[in-house]
Structure 1
Amino acid sequence: MPARASHTLTALLLGFSIPLVVSSPAYGVEFVDSPAKTAGDQTSGVLRFEVLDHTGNPAPARLTFIATDGTRPSLFPNTQAAPDELAVRRNVIYTLSGSGAVTVPVGTYTVWVSRGLEYGIDSRTIDITEDGEVIWTPKLKRELDTTGWVSGDFHLHTLTHSGHGDSNMPERVISLIGEGIEFAVATDHNHNTDYQPVMDDLGVPEALRAVVGNEVSTPIGHFNAFPLRAEDPVMDSNITDAHELFRLIREQSNEFGTIPVVQVNHPRWGGIDYFGVFDLDPVTATTPNSRFSYHFDSVEIFNENEGWGYIDADERDLSIGSGSFSVLRDWFNLLNRGHRIAAVGNSDSHDVESELAGWPRNFIASTTDVPHEISPAEIAANIRAKRVYTTYGPIVDFAVNGVPMGGDASTIPSTEHARDAGWVDVDMRVRVPTWIDCDRVMIVVNGEIVKTIDVSDQTGVVRLESTERLRLDGDSWVSLLVEGDDPLDPIVHTQGRPIYPWAVINPVWVDADNDGRWIAPVEQARMALRQNRPEDIRRELIGKAASAWENTLIAAAESDTFHEGLIRDALAHTARRVRLAATGALQQQLQRMRSQGQKLAPHQQREWINALRDARALAGDDQHLRMRLLLALDAAGDDRVSEDAIAILTDPKQRTQLRNGIDSMLSPLIKGAFVTRWSIAAYFDAPEFGTLEQMMAPAEINPYAEQYESGKSSEPIRWTTIEADDEGYIELLDLDPDASHDHAIVTARIWFVSDGSELPYSFGADDGSRIMLNNEAVYEEHTGHSAEPLQQIGTLYPKEGINLLTVTVENGTGGYGFYMRFFDEDVTGNITTTPPVQDSTPAR
């Protein structure tokens, strides 16, 4: 044994020197600091570590502990063992200084050390024995130079201010620094959060650029706004008109003199989906709802660690969670219509470990790489300029004819590059940390992958450095997608599905005909339809890219001319997107004909119905295409459609397979009618969400009383009559000017006449609810969510004669209301809100 000795090491903590007395008899060094008791009362040993970066200095990092069987063990119950230095959960420890000692339960583990995606990783298998010590000095090499770009996560939460998740404010800051994030936007729900005071308290005031933001969580979706001022009043979260909301966000002040960014979050995530709420068509990117606005700056293509939004469930066998349609495809569709919106991706992390901060992240062009010197005004401007991309690993340099992402290029001939007019050179350099997989780089033109470059056999950091020459047929946008097939485990662990190393790069817009203006692909198609005969259009499309067909069909759907031949050709096309666009075009054109008093000749109707039925039989398990074909059949006048829709909803297997977005398409196909007039008693108090699950509301117990004394306001609650909106929705917001609709309960009642037959119905409520028929509960559900018309499909068993139906809905916060539809229109014609002679049967 060497002679025992002691000395003091100095840890360089992000520019701050901190003396650290450490020890190890084996190394002749005596430790005098005691370990953080992260293992709590479990039998444990000690891991002493010092994570060194490429300069040889201690650096913030994450330690991830994996059991010998490959699972993520629950090791660290004492999450607050060292709250100013560590962020601890389950099998993860973030270290702010890079040096420390922690207790670890006895066992054998592989410990991985990481610091985001610009660094390499290190690992070691350790054996922890009772009261034993292991010393480890892992080294992290900086593998990627990202000069000119800074990494940012624009969507972050804390339990402190969002009320869910598990990360407190210091833990959020420590985890962000440990993941190498340089620009962090705090976006707690309806709260202007500022990380800077916490950074000051932790002694790391310049570790990253912290920006005040707010996830404005409204009944029409969730939207991030930044930069803001922490001290300013929080914006109204009850706004239901996107034009008004986006104007309000842009009117917010900040210390940087810039207009705040408007970012649309998880727009297809069921219940909080901006695109879904306003029925944005997932093929045409249009909506009839005038309250929808396209005037936002960016949209999340990736949300959470899983990257929800990227996948189309009908094209790839991967889970989409609670999503509906592909946001990536929505973005393509918006670009094809000329809406220049930036693609971004964010962690939406509410937690320390279960959803990691910084995965995915964005890289934004910046004139400085020093975190605390980053200008939020410059970042906001570069988001709007599309000088940003989102990634799980790939670092991408991309230009078209020398113009970088976000810019406008032309195809003016170049003698220097031996390039003729109409041609473009796509310059690409793709770098990836050595521990991250990269298999393909895809060039996307107007939403279609026109070339896939296989890089699966490449190793090292640089996986591709290449120029590809393409010919463009017209004004276009050009983008890149990058994908790897090997998941990021164990650094980013599998959750709802494996986490893959993907990247989405914002486009370059190319003026292909060099006339000085860029015309969107859908508008080009619209112009061609106006200027050419239908048969010439069909002939011109032969052999053209699927995107040309798709954009032509979208334009044809909005045309006054019935492009029957084009649609027939497209229904037989090999590309799924073309067939989707064809069914939508047919549906829209037939509906227009009907609204104008025109209709198909009987033989035409039979031909179309037969063709659509055949196409549906050949659509397999493609839910979206099958539903589009059903909508087209309805427009064609097929009287079997309602039966088909009800069969889907009432068959348990088919019903459980329906995903968000598809089920809402069924609603207009079902016969019957919404119950549009109700008698309402509001608001009863619900001090905590879940009150309705624990007890009955007074108006449920005695639905015949004229008034109730136990309301939220000082005034008695009396029955009033309310009407549904045009979509059958009963809006329960703002019924009582003297009482808040948050944490409230409303009871609605009607009486209807029945011959005693079974009565199928559909129902949906925001949030928890209970339905009672003749004072007996027939349905109840008590979780928070938005209302959808087909949330619940059931059958009522009324008695012969007059029946009392009550619907009681409890609201947590935000949106509030319900839908109720009877599938028998005869019953909806025999409804009253006026009480008959009271039924003496008590509620139970």
Structure 2
Amino acid sequence: MTVRMTFCGVAALLLAGSVSAVPPAQTLVGGMHHLRWGTVREWDEFPLKPESTGLELTFDSTPNQAERTLRLRHRDLRQAWEVWLNDKKLFTLPRDEPESVTCWAIPPGSLREKANTLRIACAAKPPDAAATAAGAPVSDDVMIGDVEVIDLPRAAVLSEAVVSVSVLADETGLACPSRITVTDERGALVDLGNKSDSHHAVRTGVVYAGTGKADLLLAAGRYTIYAGRGFEYSLPSATLDVRPGDKVQQTFRLRRVVPTEGWVASDPHVHTFTFSRHGDATIEERLLTLAGEGIELPIATDHNLNIDYTDAARGTQTAPYLTPVTGNEVTTRIGHFNAFPMAKDGPLPDWRASTWGRIAESVAKARVGEQAVIILNHGRDIHAGFRPFDPVRHISPTGENLDGWDLPANAMEVINSGATLSEPMQLYRDWFGLLNRGKQITPIGSSDCHDVNRFIVGQARTYVKMRDADAGRLSSADAVHAFNEGRVLVSYGLIADLTVDGKFGPGDLVPAGAVDDLKLSVRVLGPEWTRAARVTLFVNGVAVRTDPITQPADKPEPAGLKYAATWTLPRPKHDVWLTVIAEGPGVTGAYWPAAKPYQATTSAWTPYVMGSCGAIRIDADESGTFDSAMAHATKIATAAGDDTAAAIKALKAMEATDGISTQAVAAQLAGLWRAQNPDTFVARIESQRAEASPAATRGFDEFIAAWNQSARARAAARQ
């Protein structure tokens, strides 16, 4: 169904909040209208039933001998929504979630005398069963409206006023790379008359200024302008009324508010349209966005190519602010893996590999140096019909691959801000299971960004423990070593840091010594424009303590340190690993909006921010090595043999002396019994359930639930 509306007459309109009239404009439809491609509601924030599948607007006009401008407002576009005038396609609206006001040229001769028809509809075809199974979306709820025709060329509409912006670093007083965001009174991004050049990357409502300076070309009106440089910096803003002919000067000073000394900001998953051929960021625009978001160590990961961003950094004069590393997103039909460092002109890993083992072999042959970082990307997303951590092949609590494949990665994304999950803890639970299985896996935050502004590069990022004095001359070898050791912090709007006994941090193996307790120093950091709500300590993947983080209502959100405390953990008797995760409400402002889930599993969505740290391993028995939950479970299983009661007794003894590790060990033990006999292992557990300790029971139940999910998925796949 398409809503059809007829409008006549010309009205002089006032742009929302402007102080003077804009050129005569003809309103085709006012207000916002809910349209839907598909049959099901995409998000709960939309009504159950849409107004229509599209808009068809009939209006009287006069032939246009010169270009005119079509202006409209839109929000939440994930599919290609096309605008047609008198049966000729004018343009496709940008796929983007934030509310935006965009202007488009109506070419000369497009309008007719009297009756004209403007049609807005989604160009996508309904997905078939195969496309849906491969992860294709099934619906798109959008808001489109406030459509008007202005009797001026687009360039004239968007150049009525000039606002000259300078963004200065507070500590030096010098201009610095930055992101400038422009919104109207409703918080919507607004079209600018600017175009991208060697120092500016421009999209609707956004300019990345490599030099920290930009002359914004705007229609007359009221705007709020924000200046920022990513997660570590303040976000000053100014609200301006500009009239036709105005030339306004506006200076912003950025403060570095999040202390990250000794840590380097890296985005290990970035793309360009130039080489990956989707998205919209050219290689020059990518370097400007990286510098504008404060990313010091970007990893170039265009699909199945070894790309070096160094020349582009020099050409855009961003080289002093970052050190590019050549990598490759090895994009296979059995998962996507970022691998680095690679040689620009060196061999390519085999993206046609049919097994994970062959992927690992090909990366080893192509890498530069003794070590490579291999990151499993978006492990819960479906690409080419394959999901690495699908229950068909993966049991999350124990990190077990049911096909017998060994994960070819030493790191995995736990947050991908360009492909967020409906359940933000799911990838963390997958990481927990792999650690408990004995895998040395580093947690990664990345943006997977292909665009200038549809998704924000470096929004999720990884802080790497290394020398950071000169961002333009960082050591890629040091970075690779730190990544592989797990010396990282993962940030998506927050940082959560953990130190044991004042000197051991992420990636360390802590000799427990003779002390009775471990002293845990916990910090949560973030700028004033994000908020932390709680921080949780996990031991072997089990939450053992959560502290709320509150701020008095009469005080502003703090910048920098949001929480600090010293916790005491009883000295464990068995080796365990620790991490902390901070969480808070997501950012919705157009200056840093959180993206909705990429492949949603529910229509409910609540934006969030998170921060976490790499695992700290506790060598409780002072053996000099770390024994995982799987190692402990194997010892119990070997000693007990077929005697289930003996194994349950061993778990009970473990809990009596050290309850914090028992749940993870019990889950791994259940996995071992499942591998021995999938048909009887549940009965084996049930036969001794009454004798099991509470933590062991939780571990058993966690594994059984995951196994039942896998069994159902495998049965469905066989049908």
Question: Is the TM value for this pair above 0.5?
Answer: yes
Q: How far, CA to CA, are the matches of 1:62 and 1:189 in structure 2?
A: 26
User: Kindly tell me: are residues 141 and 280 of structure 1, through their superposed partners in 2, closer, same or farther at Cα, counting changes over 3 Å?
Assistant: same
User: Kindly tell me: are residues 107 and 575 of structure 1, through their superposed partners in 2, closer, same or farther at Cα, counting changes over 3 Å?
Assistant: farther
User: Kindly tell me: are residues 517 and 208 of structure 1, through their superposed partners in 2, closer, same or farther at Cα, counting changes over 3 Å?
Assistant: closer
- Per the TM alignment, residue 225 of structure 1 is displaced from its structure 2 partner at its CA by 1.1
User: Kindly tell me: are residues 460 and 238 of structure 1, through their superposed partners in 2, closer, same or farther at Cα, counting changes over 3 Å?
Assistant: closer
User: Kindly tell me: are residues 578 and 487 of structure 1, through their superposed partners in 2, closer, same or farther at Cα, counting changes over 3 Å?
Assistant: farther
Q: Residue 334 of structure 1 is aligned with which of 417, 434, 447? A: 434
- Per the TM alignment, residue 278 of structure 1 is displaced from its structure 2 partner at its CA by 7.4
Q: How far, CA to CA, are the matches of 2:691 and 2:419 in structure 1?
A: 38
Q: How far, CA to CA, are the matches of 2:455 and 2:519 in structure 1?
A: 39
Matched, 1:558 2:672: yes
- Per the TM alignment, residue 237 of structure 1 is displaced from its structure 2 partner at its CA by 1.1
Matched, 1:47 2:163: yes
Deviations 1:597-643 (A, max 9, x none): xxxxxxxxxxxxxxxxxxxxxxxxxxxxxx46xx4xxxxxxxxxxxx
User: Kindly tell me: are residues 519 and 259 of structure 1, through their superposed partners in 2, closer, same or farther at Cα, counting changes over 3 Å?
Assistant: closer
Q: How far, CA to CA, are the matches of 1:549 and 1:405 in structure 2?
A: 23
Number of aligned residues: 534
Runs (5+) with no aligned partner, structure 1: 1-37, 313-325, 414-418, 588-626, 632-664, 670-788, 791-820, 822-844
Q: How does 1:496-575 map to 2 (within 5 A)?
A: 496=596, 499-529=607-637, 530-531=639-640, 533-534=646-647, 536-537=649-650, 539-540=652-653, 548-559=662-673, 562-566=684-688
Matched, 1:429 2:523: yes
Q: Is contact 2:200-2:210 (8 Å) kept?
A: yes
Q: How does 1:587-602 map to 2 (within 5 A)?
A: none
Q: Where does residue 511 of structure 2 map in the other structure? A: 410
Q: How far, CA to CA, are the matches of 2:186 and 2:697 in structure 1?
A: 44
Q: How does 1:68-147 map to 2 (within 5 A)?
A: 68-73=185-190, 75-76=191-192, 79-80=195-196, 83-147=197-261
Deviations 1:214-240 (A, max 9, x none): 111001110111111112243321101
Matched, 1:203 2:317: yes
Q: How does 1:610-759 map to 2 (within 5 A)?
A: 627=709, 631=711, 665-668=712-715
Q: Where does residue 416 of structure 2 map in the other structure? A: 303
Q: Residue 219 of structure 1 is aligned with which of 333, 342, 349? A: 333
Q: Where does residue 379 of structure 2 map in the other structure? A: 267
- Per the TM alignment, residue 537 of structure 1 is displaced from its structure 2 partner at its CA by 4.8
Greater relative contact order structure (CA < 8 Å, 6+ sep) = 2
Q: How far, CA to CA, are the matches of 2:194 and 2:154 in structure 1?
A: 6
Q: Where does residue 169 of structure 1 map in the other structure? A: 283
Amino acid across the alignment from 1:61: S
- % identical equivalent positions: 27
Q: How far, CA to CA, are the matches of 2:336 and 2:391 in structure 1?
A: 11
- Per the TM alignment, residue 185 of structure 1 is displaced from its structure 2 partner at its CA by 0.9
Q: How far, CA to CA, are the matches of 2:490 and 2:155 in structure 1?
A: 39
Q: How far, CA to CA, are the matches of 1:553 and 1:148 in structure 2?
A: 37
Bigger Cα displacement from structure 2, 480-489 vs 206-215: 480-489
- Per the TM alignment, residue 425 of structure 1 is displaced from its structure 2 partner at its CA by 1.5
Deviations 1:153-179 (A, max 9, x none): 010011111111011111101000100
Q: How far, CA to CA, are the matches of 2:541 and 2:165 in structure 1?
A: 48
User: Kindly tell me: are residues 522 and 310 of structure 1, through their superposed partners in 2, closer, same or farther at Cα, counting changes over 3 Å?
Assistant: farther
Amino acid across the alignment from 1:552: A
Q: How far, CA to CA, are the matches of 2:306 and 2:227 in structure 1?
A: 33
Deviations 1:466-516 (A, max 9, x none): 221112242100111111225353331143156533112111110123343
Q: Where does residue 119 of structure 2 map in the other structure? A: none
Q: Residue 382 of structure 1 is aligned with which of 458, 470, 482? A: 482
Amino acid across the alignment from 1:47: V
Bigger Cα displacement from structure 2, 524-533 vs 155-164: 524-533
Q: Is contact 1:47-1:136 (8 Å) kept?
A: yes
Q: Where does residue 238 of structure 1 map in the other structure? A: 352
Q: TM-score, normalised by structure 2?
A: 0.69
- Per the TM alignment, residue 376 of structure 1 is displaced from its structure 2 partner at its CA by 0.5
User: Kindly tell me: are residues 359 and 566 of structure 1, through their superposed partners in 2, closer, same or farther at Cα, counting changes over 3 Å?
Assistant: farther
Deviations 1:266-313 (A, max 9, x none): 1110125333397122232112324x223422100011246438625x
Amino acid across the alignment from 1:199: A
Q: Is contact 2:397-2:430 (8 Å) kept?
A: yes
Q: Is contact 1:301-1:310 (8 Å) kept?
A: no
Amino acid across the alignment from 1:474: H
Q: Where does residue 578 of structure 2 map in the other structure? A: 478
DSSP 3-state at the match of 1:336: helix
Matched, 1:450 2:544: yes
DSSP 3-state at the match of 1:137: strand
Q: Is contact 2:337-2:374 (8 Å) kept?
A: yes
Deviations 1:395-420 (A, max 9, x none): 4442223312101012212xxxxx32
DSSP 3-state at the match of 1:225: strand
Matched, 1:64 2:181: yes
Deviations 1:132-170 (A, max 9, x none): 222210111111332211101010011111111011111
Q: How far, CA to CA, are the matches of 2:317 and 2:358 in structure 1?
A: 41
DSSP 3-state at the match of 1:139: strand
Amino acid across the alignment from 2:531: D
Runs (5+) with no aligned partner, structure 2: 1-152, 553-557, 597-604
DSSP 3-state at the match of 2:519: strand
Q: Is contact 2:581-2:613 (8 Å) kept?
A: yes
DSSP 3-state at the match of 1:177: helix
Q: How far, CA to CA, are the matches of 2:443 and 2:704 in structure 1?
A: 27
- Per the TM alignment, residue 341 of structure 1 is displaced from its structure 2 partner at its CA by 0.6
- Per the TM alignment, residue 122 of structure 1 is displaced from its structure 2 partner at its CA by 0.3
Amino acid across the alignment from 1:252: A
User: Kindly tell me: are residues 107 and 570 of structure 1, through their superposed partners in 2, closer, same or farther at Cα, counting changes over 3 Å?
Assistant: farther
Matched, 1:400 2:493: no
Task: Please provide the CA RMSD for this pair.
Answer: 2.9
Amino acid across the alignment from 2:509: D
Q: Where does residue 747 of structure 1 map in the other structure? A: none
- Per the TM alignment, residue 539 of structure 1 is displaced from its structure 2 partner at its CA by 4.9
Higher Cα radius of gyration:
1
User: Kindly tell me: are residues 460 and 212 of structure 1, through their superposed partners in 2, closer, same or farther at Cα, counting changes over 3 Å?
Assistant: closer
Deviations 1:753-801 (A, max 9, x none): xxxxxxxxxxxxxxxxxxxxxxxxxxxxxxxxxxxx58xxxxxxxxxxx
Q: Is contact 2:447-2:458 (8 Å) kept?
A: yes
Q: Is contact 1:337-1:520 (8 Å) kept?
A: yes
Q: How far, CA to CA, are the matches of 2:667 and 2:485 in structure 1?
A: 30
Structure with greater strand percent: 2
Bigger Cα displacement from structure 2, 54-63 vs 122-131: 122-131
Matched, 1:490 2:590: yes
Amino acid across the alignment from 1:156: V
